[in-house]
Amino acid sequence: MDDRGGSFVAVRRISQGLERGNTCHSTSAEVVAGSTAWLGRGLSCVCAQSRESDARPSFDLTPSQEECLQRLQNRIDIAYDSSTHEHQEALRALWNAAFPEEELRGLISEQWKEMGWQGKDPSTDFRGGGFISLENLLFFARNFPKSFKDLLWKLEGDRSVWEYPFAVAGVNITFMLIQMLDLEAVKPRTIVGAVFLKFLSENESAFDLLYCITFKLMDHQWLAMRASYMDFNTVMKATRRQLERELLLEDVTRLEDMPSYTLLTR
């Protein structure tokens, strides 16, 4: 899902951000279900290191920021395992959050198609995003239930005859964010990634919160572009570009300051 065609101007002062993130503030995360290089100014706390073998800079992190990144990477590395009790319970919890009045007949059931999984076994769709994609969906359902239901049932706007499947779209969003933020690298290699690490050091649920913002923004872009099923990749690219712009706005000092955060309702 890489979108390398774009070119943007960074407007964030990194000096205001990363040096403040000295500790990784943990909030108990609820268990829940495709790179653009940027030029910045005011680099002080983190050092842009130029390498002959890599045209992209890398940004040094404090030990506590490294720890925060490592904890998120550990989550990313966990594959969904349908034989693990914790994963089974998370999947049941997602169903109960989405359909509280309908009893789930089994973890493999035709009922799952109602949520937008491709088949009767959701575990086959988690291969692209891992267990964290389930965690993201459940975090969304628990923290922004109205927005979650609005997207699940496509309650807002003039919808297409051929809509995107909700759950599969969610897995794709997790994957896109991991790629956009370059979260599998040892240290961030883009200013967008470095800015996100500042937010993560202040709120360990930052990735889950950014996921919720992204899902709602993606649907907003979908409606604005009057998109249909075959336009999904185009909408995802537009969503990524908008996220990158907003993360670099000068007055965005936390994820809640992002303009797209206002799209979310609880």
pLDDT of residue 58: 72
pLDDT of residue 57: 66
CA distances from 132 to 143, 149, 161 (A): 16, 20, 30
pLDDT of residue 35: 30
Find out whether 129 and 175 touch, Cβ atoms under 8 Å: yes
Find out whether 200 and 69 touch, Cβ atoms under 8 Å: yes
**Does residue 14 have a pLDDT over 90?**
no
pLDDT of residue 23: 52
pLDDT of residue 38: 24
Quick one: what percent of the chain has pLDDT higher than 70?
79
Residue range 19-40, pLDDT digits in tens? 444 455 544 333 223 332 222 3
Residues 6+ apart with CB under 8 A from 43: 14, 15
Quote the mean pLDDT of the chain.
83
E strand map for the chain: 48-51, 54-59
* Highest averaged pLDDT of the listed ranges 4-13, 60-69, 190-199: 190-199
- Other residues' Cβ atoms within 10 Å of the Cβ of residue 52: 5
Q: Whole-prediction pTM value?
A: 0.81
Residue range 214-257, pLDDT digits in tens? 999 999 999 999 999 999 999 999 999 999 999 999 999 999 99
Residues 6+ apart with CB under 8 A from 237: 1, 3
The mean per-residue pLDDT over the stretch 91-106 comes to: 96
- d(C-alpha 88, C-alpha 180), whole Å: 29
**Does residue 103 have a pLDDT over 90?**
yes
Residue 62 confidence class, pLDDT cut points 50, 70, 90 = confident
The mean per-residue pLDDT over the stretch 144-169 comes to: 94
**Does residue 177 have a pLDDT over 80?**
yes
